[in-house]
Structure 1
């Protein structure tokens, strides 16, 4: 049960205590992506240039055949599954720590309005997914000749 809320004057320590209480309340067995304390899987970097939007997803241990990349209604969706060779707890063995995420995952990234969903390239190498979404030609700057 979560303890009662007391405000003793130090707001940050109270917020920290409340976060710890919520973490205890919603504690999972670590097998869910939502149980990850460090964020979501896969970690992504998103950037853009004048010509494209670049998405880098770090997905070590994922088989390329288990990855799905889709673009729909301005959203880039990266989904897949990562399996683990970690030992399973049974009557003959115990698992003392299991920090590596395993299971299904899904990341949704909003694309800018000038992204062209018809021009998407994806490659996967050494656990890194690189997705390039070209920008629409109509959104690129162009030189206008004055007559």
Structure 2
């Protein structure tokens, strides 16, 4: 079987991952107050995302449990697919008056941006929302692409001749 390189390696939005790590560093995994303010863009939660190739198609799955499908916005512009929206902080029946000891299910705005191959058009993109999972299929986006290997010139620095200590 020929060596098949993954043309989508590193395609997830690096900035979104930095926001997630920043949020974890600032707020920690354990938030002890139920009065936490709604997160800003800089501390937005980042939903878990899987990206896989199924034949020639690229499949993107984004976990959005607790998000109303009407609150999900999917856009494609200049080769970037952006999924954004809001998860509202709703009370679960029976939680009235309860004090949260651990609150890890973030609410507020989210955003994921994924760069797609240059040849992709909006007509190739289909999306479905089922059981808290958005599945986006980009037809033909994972087809083998002709890529060109660029040779990296190997240059070594000239070694300096060491001076021998004088014995004078």
Unaligned regions of 5+ residues in structure 1, if any? 1-22, 142-147
TM-score, structure 2 normalization:
0.53
TM-score, structure 1 normalization:
0.60
Which residue of 80, 83, 86 corresponds with 1:75? 80
Q: How many Å apart are 1:81 and its aligned residue?
A: 0.5
Which residue of 54, 66, 69 corresponds with 1:61? 66
- The structure showing larger relative contact order (alpha-carbon pairs under 8 Å, at least 6 residues apart) is 2
Whole-Å Cα distance in 1 between the matches of residues 64 and 103 of structure 2? Answer: 17
Whole-Å Cα distance in 1 between the matches of residues 50 and 73 of structure 2? Answer: 18
Which residue of 116, 120, 145 corresponds with 1:115? 120
Whole-Å Cα distance in 2 between the matches of residues 120 and 54 of structure 1? Answer: 10
Distance 1:50 1:96, change over 3 A: closer
2:89 is aligned to 84
Superimposed CA distance per residue, residues 81-137 of structure 1 (whole angstroms, 9 cap, x where no aligned partner): 0012248xxxx775433211100111101112343322211000000000011227x
Which residue of 46, 57, 62 corresponds with 2:51? 46
Aligned residue-pair number: 110
Distance 1:94 1:133, change over 3 A: same
Whole-Å Cα distance in 2 between the matches of residues 127 and 27 of structure 1? Answer: 25
Root mean square deviation, CA, Å = 3.3
Q: Contact 1:58–1:128 (CA<8 Å) still a contact in 2?
A: yes
More strand by share: 1
Q: How many Å apart are 1:53 and its aligned residue?
A: 1.4
1:97 is aligned to 102
Q: Secondary structure at the match of 1:60?
A: coil
